[in-house]
Every structure is written in structure tokens, then in C-alpha cells.
Amino acid sequence: MKKKLNTDLILNGSMIRAILSLAIPVVINSFLQTMYNLTDTYWLGKLGTEELAAINLVTPVQSIIINFGTGITVAGSVLIAQYIGAKAYDDARSMANQIFACAMIFSIVCAGVCALSSPAIVGWLGAEGGTYQYGKLYLQLVVLDMPFLYMVNMYTAINQAQGDTLRPMLLNLLGISLNIVLDPLFMLVFQMGVAGAALATILAKAVPAVIAFILLHSKKKQVYLQLSKLKFEKEKLKNILVVGLPTAIGGSTMQLGFLLMSRNVFKYGTEAMAAYGIGNKVNGLITLPSTGIGSAVATIVGQNVGANQLERADEGYRISRNISVVFLFLGGIILSRMPVSTAIVSIFSDDSDVIQMAAEFLSIMAFWCFTNGVYNATSGLFQGSGHTEVTMIIDVTRLWVLRFATLFVCEYFLKMDVQSVWYSVVVSNGISAVMLYITYKTGYWRRKRIKKEGEKCE
């Protein structure tokens, strides 16, 4: 049956075909998710630099909360994939129930707390005047989409664990299509400005969320929700913590580092803040193939580790890493050319100062983006094998040690001003990729991490 085809391919078929069948929909899906923010960035850029700076300033706050909760969805995808590889389908369905319940509770609580705390958060970031008002309003509204976002994320995680990345892509296509229509309608036609951008995003995620909830109960797949039979199991909850907590800590701590980076950029002015946001978002598009391949590696490794096929898991990682590095190296060479980077960032701003700084930032990041190929593929390997504590340590080190150390040296010793931010990004990314690769070579990922009933981990 069709529902088993992807699993059979991952465990027994052509590895390149398995990688591409998983990665291509994930890349498209990631592109669609990125388009939520890029659509806002484009239309806010039409409103003014102050509005654009405001949304770029508060976006990391939203990302901190989302990334902490992502630990739950990553744990779900990894644990379900390993159960599928071991052909323990009842355990996989039970895990899906518990992961879903945890994710929904977390998203509702955090949405409420963050909405109430928005004024204090934006004030702490140093925003004043119009930037403060726009940032506070946007953050208060946009965090309300978290339950919808997590509903879609759980649908993606449960399907990806089974080797299905196509349906989540189609669901996000619906969401971004709605957002593209609603953004200019609310912001410009109804003249709602920043509030319109937030409301458009909420509504564009609500519709796919309802569809996702319905589809998650479909019994046409091996793993589906049975909330009427929800029963929290101690061993499974421990596994969620073992795999999910390091990802949550690493992701949220890393995003907190991004938030502090935003404060460092903001001291150079709203133009620099706008340029930083544009450069990061466009670079996110450039590295989408790497991100997609990393997700594919996590699924491939997860199922093969569950089936005790470690050599096949290693093969999947190595092929994926090499594809990603070559693709990003060639693409980065092209996109790092100043005429090309300038043309791209000009889409998002009419301010000449913003364009100049953003183009320089994008050019530098694009040239070195091939290191993301190593980083994302190797992160996928450790996630799929359940060793998320490795990615947590590297993520925290990348931001809190490498990036801020480079920033300090460039600012106070080399006197590079705003360029210090640009170079701190690429230097920290490159060194952390090397650290992950060295850890891979030790073979640590082969150690059994996830404990099943009656088993002991190494």
C-alpha cells in the first residue's frame, strides 16, 4: 500500500531517491513557511523603515518561544520514526497522542503569557516611539497564532516520521496563499498597518490548522491520533524529555542569543536593524535546501536506527551532506556577487542605506553558506539517532561563545562597526560546523539513546 512505500524506500531502497523524495517537499514546505515572514517584510517595507525595524526587532522573541516548543515536535518525529523502523506501530500511535497533547498545552499557555508580557519585552529591547508601538502591537497579536502553528507542526512531524513530506507541503501552500492575499488586504486596503500583518498571519495559519486536526485522525496511515485513548505513559514521557528537552533548551537559548544580537544591531540605527532582518530572511531562503536535507537525514537516520541498520543510516547522512555542501557552494558563489545581492534586497526596501548594508551582509553570508550544509546534515544525524544533547551544546556554543566572542573582537579591537555583526555570523557558523563534524567522526551518534520498556541505554 502507498502508506508503506516511503518507509520501505527509507529502509531498503535507493538512498538518493529516499533523500530527494523527503528533502524536496521539505524544502518547498520550508520556503512556504519562510514566505509568511517575507510577505510581512515586503508589505511592511512599503509602509516605512520604522515598521520594518519594529517587526525585525520582535521576531526573535516569537522565535524563542516557538523554538522551545519545537523540542516537543522534534522529539515526536524522532521517536515515532524509530518506532516505525522497529515496526512497533501501537507504540508509535501512543507516542503521537502524547506528543500532540504536550504540544497543544504548551502553545496555549505560552501564547497567553507572551501576549501579556509584550509591552515589557519590547521596552527591554530598547525600542522607543513608533518602533515601540509597532513592535508591541505586532508581538501581542502574532503570538496568538501559536496553537494553530503547533497544530500544523504536529501534523508535519507525525507525517514526516512516516516518510510523508508531501502532504505537509500542500497544507502550507494553502496557508501561504491565504497570507499573500490577506496581507495587502488588511495592511493597505483596510489600512490596518502592522496589526493587519499580524492578523493576516493568524488567519492564514488557522485554516490549515483545522484541516491538520481533521487529517491527523484519519486511519489511512500507520500512525494517527486517538485522543479518546490518550493515556500518559511514564517511559514515553521520559523519552520525550530525553530527546525534546535538549532541543528545546538549545533552540530557545540560541534564539535568545539572536535577540541579544538584535540589541547589538539596533544601536547602529533602524536602518541597520532593517538590513539585518532582510539579510537573515533572504539567507534563510538560500539555505533552505540544506535545512530540507537536514530534516530528511533525521527521518532516514531515525527509521534506520530503529531498524538497527546503523551503516545504512551513516550512508544516508554522508550522501545527504555531500549533496548539500556542493549545492550551497555553487549557489553561494552566484548569490555573493554584489550586483545579485543588491537586486535581491532591493525587493524588500526602497531605503538606499538599508539596501547597501543588507546587500553587503547577504553577500558575505552567501559566500560562506556551504558550511550550513555540514551543520544541518550533521544536526539531522544526531537528532535522528536521539542524541539531541549534542546539537544543544553546539547551538548554545555557536551563539553564546563563538558569535559574541567574534562580535567583541571585531567591534572593540578591529573597529569594524556594523560589519562586526556580519562577520560574527559567518565565523560562528563555520566553526560550529567543524565541531559537529568532528563529533560525528567519534562515532558517538551510534550509541543507543532512546530507552524502550525493559531496555537500558548505553
Q: What is the mean pLDDT of residues 215-225?
A: 87
Long-range contacts at 427-431 (CB < 8 A, ≥ 24 apart): 427/402, 427/403, 428/398, 428/399, 428/402, 428/403, 429/368, 429/371, 429/372, 429/375, 429/398, 430/368, 430/371, 431/398, 431/402
Mean of all residue pLDDT scores within the chain = 85
* pLDDT at residue 452 in the model: 58
The answer to whether 145 and 33 have CB atoms below 8 angstroms apart is no
* pLDDT at residue 41 in the model: 67
d(CA 272, CA 355): 10
Is 6 a residue whose pLDDT tops 80? Answer: no
pLDDT band at 141 (very low <50, low <70, confident <90, very high): confident
Is 196 a residue whose pLDDT tops 90? Answer: no
Is 450 a residue whose pLDDT tops 70? Answer: no
Name which of 63-72, 271-280, 283-292, 442-451 the model is least confident about: 63-72
Q: Tell me, yes or no, if the pTM score tops 0.85.
A: no
Is 5 a residue whose pLDDT tops 70? Answer: no
| pLDDT, tens digit (0-9, with 9 covering 90-100), for 72-89 | 888 888 889 988 988 888
* pLDDT at residue 453 in the model: 54
d(CA 206, CA 182): 13
Contacts for 196 with CB less than 8 Å, ≥ 6 apart? 183, 185, 186, 187, 188, 190
The answer to whether 375 and 437 have CB atoms below 8 angstroms apart is no
pLDDT band at 2 (very low <50, low <70, confident <90, very high): very low
* pLDDT at residue 321 in the model: 96
Name which of 101-110, 187-196, 433-442 the model is least confident about: 187-196
Q: What is the mean pLDDT of residues 344-365?
A: 89
The C-alpha cell that represents 113 in the structure block: 503569557
* pLDDT at residue 118 in the model: 87
* pLDDT at residue 436 in the model: 96
Contacts for 142 with CB less than 8 Å, ≥ 6 apart? 62, 198, 201, 202
Is 209 a residue whose pLDDT tops 90? Answer: yes
Q: What is the mean pLDDT of residues 403-410?
A: 91
d(CA 154, CA 169): 13
Is 457 a residue whose pLDDT tops 60? Answer: no
Query: Where is pLDDT greater, at 153 or 378?
Result: 378
pLDDT band at 454 (very low <50, low <70, confident <90, very high): very low
Q: What is the mean pLDDT of residues 117-134?
A: 84
The answer to whether 91 and 230 have CB atoms below 8 angstroms apart is no
Q: What is the mean pLDDT of residues 32-61?
A: 72
* pLDDT at residue 439 in the model: 97
Instruction: Please state, as a whole number, how many other Cβ atoms lie within 10 Å of the Cβ of residue 347.
Output: 13
d(CA 60, CA 383): 23
Is 1 a residue whose pLDDT tops 50? Answer: no
Is 428 a residue whose pLDDT tops 90? Answer: yes
pLDDT band at 364 (very low <50, low <70, confident <90, very high): very high
| pLDDT, tens digit (0-9, with 9 covering 90-100), for 45-59 | 777 777 777 777 777
The C-alpha cell that represents 409 in the structure block: 573582537
Domain residues of the chain, as ranges? 2-224+233-446
Cα 153–156–159 angle (5° rounding)? 150
Task: Express as a percent the part of the chain with pLDDT over 90.
Answer: 29
* pLDDT at residue 40 in the model: 65
Is 188 a residue whose pLDDT tops 50? Answer: yes
Is 425 a residue whose pLDDT tops 80? Answer: yes
* pLDDT at residue 316 in the model: 95
Is 332 a residue whose pLDDT tops 50? Answer: yes
Is 126 a residue whose pLDDT tops 50? Answer: yes
pLDDT band at 208 (very low <50, low <70, confident <90, very high): very high
* pLDDT at residue 8 in the model: 85
pLDDT band at 35 (very low <50, low <70, confident <90, very high): low
Is 29 a residue whose pLDDT tops 80? Answer: no
Q: What is the mean pLDDT of residues 324-334?
A: 92
Is 368 a residue whose pLDDT tops 50? Answer: yes
Directed axis angle between helix 234-266 and helix 89-124, to 10°?
A: 30
Task: Express as a percent the part of the chain with pLDDT over 70.
Answer: 95
